[in-house]
Amino acid sequence: MKFIVKNKSTKGYQRLLDLKRVNGNYSNVKNDISQSDYIRDEVLTSLLEEQGFICAYCMRQIDLSNSTIEHIIGQNYIENGQELGKENQINYDNFLAVCKGTLCRSQLHCDKNRANYQKERPLFANPLKNIIIQNINFSEKGAVYYKNFIKLEEISKLKNHLISDEDSNIRYDLEVVLNLNCQNLKEKRALIIKAIKKLSDNGRKKEVLKKLLSKYEIKNDNKYSEFCEVVIKYIIKKI
């Protein structure tokens, strides 16, 4: 995950404000009727630009053709009797652009896997919260973890939702709800770390790493590199 800053000056933000004014709802965004497709594409394009064209959860590179709109507060989510999901269904700040969650063959990941949980569970691993993103790390084997590495079996022992402390909830989101440690994602991240290690395997290690870091920290042609945070976190640990 990479920290996302919401941009209120985008076309997509404006489109949703206009829709709110005429009492529209999310079906006006997602359905393929009249000008709705147009709204969906504009909103999704704004989200993609905001995120540098990487999935808000797994950081795979995405574009208009292979991404979808995700609600941070799930559309059916109710908290203490309040229909928070409905209230935020066309709130731009509640939207993320995500991949289709199909990289891991038989398993789903990202919002496709979260769909099973979002009725009763809010999102704890929220990419809009920088303090959380700062504490997400990656092992050299490509596993994503929060604060300190805890074995998967320990996390899976935790029950689905309403765990008392926030750290456990964030871990449960990364590991179970979003399934970000599915085999293929882990392997892809491990390969990137291996490549960076190899590149920096010479006498001028720090210099090379610093150069790489500045490359991965910025957008190139509006786009971040796939899995950029994996590289950034690895290099920061090494220099």
Query: Smallest gap, in angstroms, from Cβ of residue 5 to Zn ion?
Result: 19
SS3 96: strand
* From 98-106, 139-147, 187-195, 207-215, span contacting Zn ion (CB under 5 A): 98-106
SS3 105: coil
According to the binding rule CB under 5 A, does residue 57 interact with Zn ion?
A: yes
Query: Smallest gap, in angstroms, from Cβ of residue 133 to Zn ion?
Result: 15
Instruction: State how far the Cα of 133 lies from the Cα of 1, in Å rounded to an integer.
Output: 7
Contact criterion met (CB below 8 Å) for 12 and 47: yes
- Length of the chain equals 239
* From 38-46, 93-101, 142-150, 192-200, span contacting Zn ion (CB under 5 A): 93-101
- Comparison of 58 and 192: residue with beta carbon closer to Zn ion: 58
- Comparison of 43 and 99: residue with beta carbon closer to Zn ion: 99
Question: Binding residues for Zn ion, how many (CB under 5 A)?
Answer: 5
* From 68-76, 108-116, 117-125, 168-176, span contacting Zn ion (CB under 5 A): 108-116
102 Cβ partners below 8 Å, 6+ apart? 108, 112
According to the binding rule CB under 5 A, does residue 234 interact with Zn ion?
A: no
User: Of 43, 44, 47, 58, which lies in the binding site for Zn ion, with binding defined by CB under 5 A?
Assistant: 58
Q: Which residue, 218, 228, 149, is CA-closest to 196?
A: 228
Instruction: State how far the Cα of 166 lies from the Cα of 144, in Å rounded to an integer.
Output: 17
User: Of 48, 55, 136, 180, which lies in the binding site for Zn ion, with binding defined by CB under 5 A?
Assistant: 55
CA–CA distances in Å: residue 46 to residues 71, 109, 123, 164, 178: 15, 23, 22, 36, 23
Query: Smallest gap, in angstroms, from Cβ of residue 192 to Zn ion?
Result: 15
Q: Which residue, 239, 107, 82, is CA-closest to 183?
A: 107
Strands 136-138 and 144-146: antiparallel
* From 94-102, 137-145, 169-177, 194-202, span contacting Zn ion (CB under 5 A): 94-102
- Comparison of 112 and 121: residue with beta carbon closer to Zn ion: 112
Query: Smallest gap, in angstroms, from Cβ of residue 67 to Zn ion?
Result: 9
Interface with Zn ion by CB under 5 A: which residues? 55, 57-58, 99, 110
